[in-house]
Amino acid sequence: MSHKNKYDELKNQLCTIADELKQSKKINDALYYKMFSLSYARTRTPKLEESIDILKGIQNTTTTNKETKRKHTVTEFKQIKELKTKLKPKPKKQFNQLELDEFEFNYKPSGNDILNVSNEFYKNINFQIPKNYDYINRQNEKKKTFNFAYNDEPLQLENLLYSIYNQQKHTFKIAISFAYALIKEKGISEENDVFNIKFKFFDATPNTRIISHPTIIDNKNDIDKLIQEIRKHNLIEKVIDKRPTSEWKFYEFLYVRFDVYQMTSPIGKAHNLPAHFTSGSNEKALVRFDGDRYNDFLCFGGV
């Protein structure tokens, strides 16, 4: 028998028993209509089975004393239900994996339970933070990729950017993208007697960049400006713009990726000085440098 046929049969059985009890004057009108309302609503299967069980108990009740014979009420029905609930052994908490990205609980899971199945999901998709690597791309640009675990702690992004900047000897372009997971939850309700959780993984790619195009970095001021620009955005709101539907919620960041494209000029590129500095005895090409690499106050003269 299919699930739908069994569900319809339970509803019909509930109505039949309720009708017999009303005819035999064992339940009052309020309880009778309450049972019929359950059959019209999208009542969960366990609740239908429980209601049928209680009505069968009332149906099997016999009284010989006319003075004690009366109709059962909605209040008494609820009292019987509460008593059965207390006496009924609690089911063992468990979850099932439906798909690589989907899990089902027979109870409302705690945060730690969700953490455990999220780790199962990451194992299922073989997730791991990529290694850093260097290569030359199709545009013949020297490119370095840095990948770091990321959870959006205060100053975490700033510290990573400064660390990368301090490793560079040349002006560079940098692009920042994030890998993260979304979660969709469907809780236990009248229509659903299980708690369903599904995950979706987004890798760090050009599609998950916070700023669409790489930013040129020539000095520390450029890094500071980039950080200010990023902090104008709420990172979580930015990434969930790409979610399939509003049912999906942000779950966690997994790692951040920095793509660094090396350029030819050194950090702190040269600027030509005004004409009056380069005329007469100063007609040699004088330049000034921006940046923080030339801070030892030593001259650039030769012998």
Which tens digit of pLDDT belongs to each residue from 43-85?
Answer: 777 788 888 888 888 888 765 434 455 678 888 888 887 777 7
Residues 148 and 191 in one domain: yes
Q: What is the model's pLDDT at position 203?
A: 95
- CA proximity to 103, closest of 167, 197, 191, 17: 197
pLDDT grade for 251, boundaries at 50, 70 and 90: very high
pLDDT band for 218, please (50, 70, 90 cuts): very high
Residue 169 covered by a domain: yes
- Stretch 282-297: mean pLDDT, rounded? 49
Same domain as 147, residue 58: no
Give every CB contact of residue 46 below 8 A, 6+ residues apart in sequence: 193
CA 212 to CA 235: how far, in whole Å? 14
Residue 293, in any domain of the structure: no
Give pLDDT, residue 252: 95
Q: How far apart are CA 52 and CA 60, in angstroms?
A: 12
Same domain, 42 and 150: no
State the pLDDT at residue 288. 47
Give alpha helix (H) positions in the chain.
Answer: 3-23, 29-40, 45-59, 74-87, 111-124, 156-166, 220-231, 235-240
Same domain, 105 and 63: no
Q: Within this chain, do residues 104 and 250 fall inside the same structural domain, yes or no?
A: yes
Of residues 65 and 132, more confidence is placed in 132
| Residue 10 Cα to chain centre, angstroms | 38
Answer whether residue 121 is part of any domain: yes
Helices and strands counted in the chain (H then E): 8, 10
pLDDT exceeds 60 at position 284: no
| Parent domain of 60 | 3-87
Q: Are residues 132 and 190 both part of a single domain? A: yes
CA-based nearest residue to 292, from 207, 221, 202, 189: 221
Please check whether residue 28 lies inside any domain of the structure: yes
Looking at the structure, tell me whether residues 106 and 166 fall in a common domain. yes
Q: Domain count of the chain?
A: 2
Q: Are residues 125 and 61 part of one domain? A: no
Is residue 105 located within the same domain as residue 152? yes
* Residue with tokens 């019987």, as numbered in its chain: 80
